[in-house]
Structure 1
Amino acid sequence: MINPSASGWIDKFFGTLSGRLPQYENSHAFYRAIRDTGFIYGHVAKFKNLDAKETGNWTVEEVTKVALLNGLYDAYRLITKTQDTTGFIARATAFYTEMHPESFVLLKKVLPSSPPSYQLENLLDERIKTNDNIISRNFSHILTNALLFMDVLAFRQFLIVGELPQKYLKKLEETVVTIVNLALNSKQDKTQYDDLLIKLFESSVRYTKLSHISVESLDEAGFDYFESKSEKNYLLDVAAMAIWSDGQAQQSEIDFLHSLNQKLGLREEAARESLDSYNAFIKHNKKHIPFFNYSNPVKHFYDHASQSVINLIIRNKNRLIKELGNNGELMLLLTHSTHRSLNDKEKKKVKKQLLEICKTVPSLTIFLLPGGSLLLPLLIKFIPQLLPSALNENLEEEDTL
């Protein structure tokens, strides 16, 4: 049995693949096969080359790690036309070493006498943990793991070009975030959760900031940069997932998906197939993914995160009150806010000083983690309940800082 958390699991994995390797005619067949497993959607429902009894007791992280290795190896076989596992391990290790500047430090953790596969195990462990923050823990593994397929696409380019295409990674991320933004903007009826979904995507990527993206239409997105069917279908599926974020697709969103499909140069029925594929995946696997048992998964994230934050605040109430009392300027601003609306400069000052307080309370450092600032308004909104009644009467509306 393979234990993806124990040293040597990669060698065992390759040892089980004899006679189980699927063959792909082209990149489109390769992509569709991986999509069928659920990896594109962030939840691996099955493996084509492993029996269910071998994977039944694996954790989400272990399943994701093996699925990532599987995708990388399939890309290697597709490009090199070989099944050389030794060569694959060497190339995959080189790829991640170039991708992460800190990789040379990670590899020092592995004994020099250890097999090369141990180095790759170490790198994959760290890659899966990259997004271990307030967002991934509460937003489930669905979003961050869906973006892991970008590693596979980047590795494919690495094999073709012979080096890490840094511009490629940045362009792919930027395009993904752009498409999600445009897809949500195509909604006729937008909600606060659509904006939150954009921020969640942004918090899960390495290079891209929404504030740096000025693309306002599909015509400006620059899809000519991407040539393979794998890339184009992935971009289309990302849009389908964004459209499905609230469990239903409006006509304007469906029209957007078809327009994107045309811009990507895919066959006419690809847009409908993309949406149908995602719907079918959720229908067949919904009972195994609690996240999708809610009519609006993003709203579920926010509600769940809200309760978690409130519980943390309550447990640290006395320490928080003490820190607030020691900050005269902050208390003065809070007092002023009971009589008038704070200006933008004052609101920024309140936010900054609250973050400074969070640094002094270990349990509240979640607000300093990637994505944690999305939840800061919850802390601001809850503060009135911690302060003397003379101060809290008018603070409840000060949650837009």
Structure 2
Amino acid sequence: MINPSASGWIDKYFARLTTRFNGHTAPHDFYKTVRDSGFIYGYVATLDFLEAKETKGWTAEEATKATLLNSLYGIYCITDNTDPKAFTEKAIAFYDHMTPEGHSFLKKVLPASPKSHQLEDILDERIKTNDNIISRNFSHILTNALLFMDVLAFGQYLVKGRLPDNYLKKLEETIVGLALLALNIKSKKTSYDDLLIKLFEASVRYTKVAKVSANDLSSLEISYFEPETEKLYLLDIAGMAIWSDGVAENAEIDFLYRLAAQLGLNEQAAPESIAGFDVFIKLHRNQIPYFKYSNPVKHFYDHASQNVMLLINRNRKRLIKELSNNGELMLLLTHSAHRSLDAGEKKKIKKQLLEICKTIPSLTIFLLPGGSLLLPLLIKFIPQLLPSVFNENLDEEA
């Protein structure tokens, strides 16, 4: 299995990649493959470029990170060549180029580390849009809905050798402007419309949604965008905005057709965009985070529980070994299973668990700001990973 949260995963990705793009892949086919994965919509539902056994147990963040890499590599393949090493170096140079002076991703990685490891660190930083573990987990909605902008910008960089001035800001403002225009056409507003605005507010990096104004299509610099992938993406953003439980009014559909024509796309582009998003939502609605925003507390604990259990399973042997070497902690955990601990005992458990977390790199998540709030979840799951003898003793003492 490939673990996108562990060092060395990019090398494994290239070694085990099953589906590859190449110089003969048409831009439309490339874009459609990425769209079908859900990456365009902000939620990765399928990872067809790897065998299922390689992606088993991945978190949504890990799936997003791997799909971002695959999409960057895909546009590199159809623009330049298919050499993984050359791609890695080019991707690192691109991200260094696109980052404002003083905020370079490369300043956070060791120069002596392998290029693939440097790219891993860059991608990891790229998908973390919030400051700490609690704000990321508490977010009601997915905050990486506009990551495909990186892919489009990389395409520009590959063709022109540099990123056009203010390209990302122009693209982001156009995306938000199109979404707002599409929403304003609706005669009836729904909770989904509010969701979409919140989704964009959580995803924008270069502008503020509240400062974007668009009165009609002519007020947007649509002609600035020439590659087919850029045009299809803008159309899909507008398609996402007019969608509302599968119902689209005539004015909304007309808007999408007019946009497609203004972008210079063929007559099939608009209906394909509408159908694509509608089918995707119907298939995956129950799994998409931004449809679960109504109960933020429940969402926080559900999401946090999944992450904690995943971390425990991936570090099972190491954690069991560390726990077994701490007799006092084992005794306290035993008592906690059948009686309430006093304040002093709880403090000891917290302190000793944090000491253990310091020795296991993947568990340092509990040492981050707010991470201690997740400790009760760690304590809750510990009995499930300890040897059966420990659990049987609990039953006897009870």
TM-score when normalising by structure 1: 0.68
Whole-angstrom distance in 2 between the partners of 1:22 and 1:264: 25
Distance in 2 of aligned mates of 1:31 and 1:192? 29
Amino acid at match of 2:282: K
Distance 1:166 1:229, change over 3 A: same
| Corresponding position: 1:140 with 2:141 | yes
When residues 231 and 176 of structure 1 are mapped into structure 2, their CA distance, relative to the original with a 3 A threshold, is same
Match of 2:34 in 1: 34
Q: Using the TM superposition, give the Cα deviation of residue 137 of structure 1 relative to its aligned residue in structure 2, in angstroms.
A: 4.1
State the match for 1:44 in structure 2. 44
Partner of 2:358: none
Residue 228 of structure 2 corresponds to: 229
Q: Does structure 1 conserve the Cα–Cα contact (< 8 Å) formed by 2:19 and 2:49?
A: yes
Say which of 290, 295, 312 aligns to 1:304.
295
Instruction: Tell me the residue number matched to 2:250.
Output: 251
Amino acid in the other structure paired with 1:51: E
Q: Say if 1:306 and 1:188 are closer, same or farther in 2 by CA, change over 3 A.
A: farther
* Equivalence for 2:11: 11
Q: Deviations over 1:319-378 (max 9, x none)?
A: xxxxxxxxxxxxxxxxxxxxxxxxxxxxxxxxxxxxxxxxxxx99xxxxxxxxxxxxxxx
| 5+ long unaligned stretches in structure 1 | 292-296, 310-361, 364-401
Q: Determine the C-alpha separation between the residues in 2 that align with 1:130 and 1:72.
A: 19
SS, match of residue 235 in structure 1: helix
In 1, Cα distance between equivalents of 2:198 and 2:127: 20
Residues 140 and 299, structure 2, Cα contact 8 Å, conserved in 1: no
Question: Could you give the per-residue CA deviations for residues 105-139 of structure 1, whole angstroms, max 9, x where no partner exists?
Answer: 64344333321111111111100102468588433
Q: Is the 8 A contact 2:138 2:297 kept in 1?
A: no
Is residue 220 from structure 1 mapped to residue 219 from structure 2 by the alignment?
yes
Residues 131 and 271 (structure 1), Cα distance of their counterparts in 2 relative to 1, 3 Å cut = farther
Alignment match, 2:241:
242
In structure 1, what is the equivalent of residue 94 of structure 2?
95
Q: Distance in 2 between matches of 1:252 and 1:266?
A: 19
Give 1:189 deviation, angstroms.
Answer: 1.9
User: 1:255 deviation in Å?
Assistant: 2.0
Q: Given that residues 183 and 242 in structure 2 are in contact (C-alpha distance below 8 angstroms), is that contact kept between their aligned partners in structure 1?
A: yes
Relative to the length of structure 2, the TM-score reads 0.68
Equivalent pair of 1:175/1:221 in contact (CA under 8 Å): yes
**How far does residue 251 in structure 1 lie from its aligned partner after superposition?**
2.7
| Deviation for aligned residue 1:191 | 5.6
Whether the 8 Å contact between 1:44 and 1:63 is mirrored in structure 2 is yes
Which AA in structure 2 matches 1:5? S
Contact 1:96 1:103 in 2 (8 A): no
The answer (yes or no) to whether the contact 2:145–2:203 under 8 Å persists in 1 is no
The letter of the residue matching 2:45 is: A
Structure 2 residue runs of 5 or longer lacking an equivalent are 301-368, 371-398
Task: Give me the whole-angstrom Cα distance separating, in 2, the residues matched to 1:290 and 1:196.
Answer: 11
Separation (CA, whole Å) in 2 of partners of 1:190 and 1:281: 21
Count of aligned pairs: 299
Q: What aligned pairs does 1:1-400 form with structure 2 within 5 A after superposition?
A: 1-17=1-17, 20-23=19-22, 24-80=24-80, 82-101=81-100, 106-131=105-130, 137-141=138-142, 144-190=143-189, 194=193, 197-198=196-197, 200-245=199-244, 248-289=247-288, 291=290, 297=291, 301=293, 303-305=294-296
2: CA distance, partners of 1:59 / 1:308: 15
Q: Are the equivalent residues in 1 in contact too, given 2:79–2:158 (CA < 8 A)?
A: yes
Whole-Å separation in 2 of the counterparts to 1:200 and 1:260: 22
* Aligned-partner SS, 1:248: coil
Deviation for aligned residue 1:209 = 2.5
Instruction: Report if aligned partners of 2:34, 2:40 keep a CA contact under 8 Å in 1.
Output: yes
